[in-house]
Amino acid sequence: VIKCKAAVAWEAGKPLSIEEVEVAPPKAHEVRIKIVATAVCHTDAYTLSGADPEGCFPVILGHEGAGIVESVGEGVTKVKKGDTVIPLYIPQCGECKFCKNPKTNLCQKIRITQGKGVMPDGTSRFTCKGKQIFHFMGTSTFSEYTVVADISVAKIDAAAPLDKVCLLGCGISTGYGAAVNTAKVEPGSTCAVFGLGGVGLAVIMGCKIAGASRIIGIDINKDKYAKAKEFGATECISPQDSTKPIQEVLVEMTDGGVDYSFECIGNVGVMRAALEACHKGWGLSVIVGVAAAGQEIATRPFQLVTGRTWKGTAFGGWKSVDNVPKLVTEYMSKKIKVDEFVTHTLPFNKINEAFELMHSGK
């Protein structure tokens, strides 16, 4: 058993608490990882808020991390002690019908136990003050050591800077993949990206790499426009600058609508606007943002009858074990940006400040 520091969420709606936790050794087909760096994501904040129907407390949150394998359980063959890895919230077992289908990346092998906050055998590897602490998204990167299933680990280039590539565990991969895998953006196309946070910026990067000629960034926070343009946005607009609905503004700006749109916020009203901003006959809109539990999307069916397509994406459609190492290689060869997504670097004990910075749009 390893004793280390972790940021524990004792209950919903309260700040995280830095505690000493005990991390049990890995069982069969499990891997214990020393987490070197972790990022914060709105998904962590969503669960912490209490709005997540799958949220279990007390829990160690975090799903964008990178580290070094400390030890492996019986039967683990893909990684060994000392390997540099990124934990994966969408695993890749290679055996289930989802993994065998090239159309999806949604491995279901450990979905049920992962959603319940436990390891595949139904138990937790974390304890604190004599209490069992739940796992989160199969990763729990807000701990100096964590235990994950062996199908939830990608072995990456040992030379990669972990304080940067941890972002490939969720946000950057999700946005980039939404553009290149889910939408399959084509050269010369016009794109609209709703929400210019980390995921939105990664979508813009993907659209640019795919050869889009016009990329319109949409956000009510104008402080985000300069960064969006660095990533490839050709122009940025705010829905608050017009009395017309944003979809009408975009249709007028683009002679009938955009070829591709992306919703990177998790707002069902914006999801509708993103679809309706698409061009008749061929426009495609991708939902990337995660809406709150119980919410529903709406549009007039005629929008779809007249040739628009509505799609969704999780982790950018990447089959995780296969593709995360390739994404790290693309970063190392400067094909994709990662460093530019990092705005602040804080010590672990200031994790609550990181959440405050995220909520304030900084």
Does 21 share its domain with 146?
A: yes
Closest CA to 87 of 25, 206, 192, 170: 170
Residue 54 pLDDT > 90: no
Do 156 and 275 belong to one domain?
Answer: no
Give the domain range for residue 270. Answer: 174-314
Of 299, 314, 329, the one marking the end of a domain is 314
- Give the pLDDT confidence of 235-261 residue by residue, as tens digits: 999 999 999 999 999 999 999 999 999
Looking at the fold, whether 48 and 146 belong to one and the same domain comes out as yes
Instruction: Please enumerate in sequence order all residues whose Cβ is within 8 A of that of 262, keeping only pairs 6 or more positions apart, or say none.
Output: 175, 178, 179, 183, 191, 192, 193, 194, 200, 203, 274, 285, 286, 288
Residue 8 has pLDDT above 90, yes or no: yes
Spatial CA neighbour of 25 closest among 73, 60, 68, 59:
73
The total of structural domains in the chain comes to 2
Rounded Cα distance, 218 and 19, in Å = 40
Pair 265, 199 in one domain: yes
Residue 51: what pLDDT?
87
Torsion of CA 135, 96, 88, 10, to 10 degrees: -10
292 pLDDT higher than 90: no
Yes or no: say if 198 and 361 are a contact pair by the CB < 8 Å rule: no
Q: Please tell me whether residues 280 and 136 are part of one structural domain.
A: no
Task: Please indicate, yes or no, whether residues 13 and 126 belong to a single structural domain of this protein.
Answer: yes
- Asked whether the beta carbons of 148 and 120 are under 8 A apart, the reply is no
CATH number reported for the structural domain that contains residue 149 in this entry? 3.90.180.10
Average pLDDT, the chain: 97
User: Which ranges of 171-235 does DSSP label H, i.e. alpha helix?
Assistant: 171-177, 198-209, 225-231
- Tell me, what CATH number does 193's domain have? 3.40.50.720
Q: How many CA atoms lie within 13 A of 275 on its CB side?
A: 22
Q: Mark whether 310 and 187 lie in a shared domain.
A: yes
Do both 160 and 32 map to the same domain? Answer: yes
Query: Residue 221 has which token pair?
Result: 């926070």
Model-level pTM? 0.96
Is residue 108 domain-shared with residue 143, that is, in the same domain? yes
Q: Domain check: are 118 and 189 in the same one?
A: no
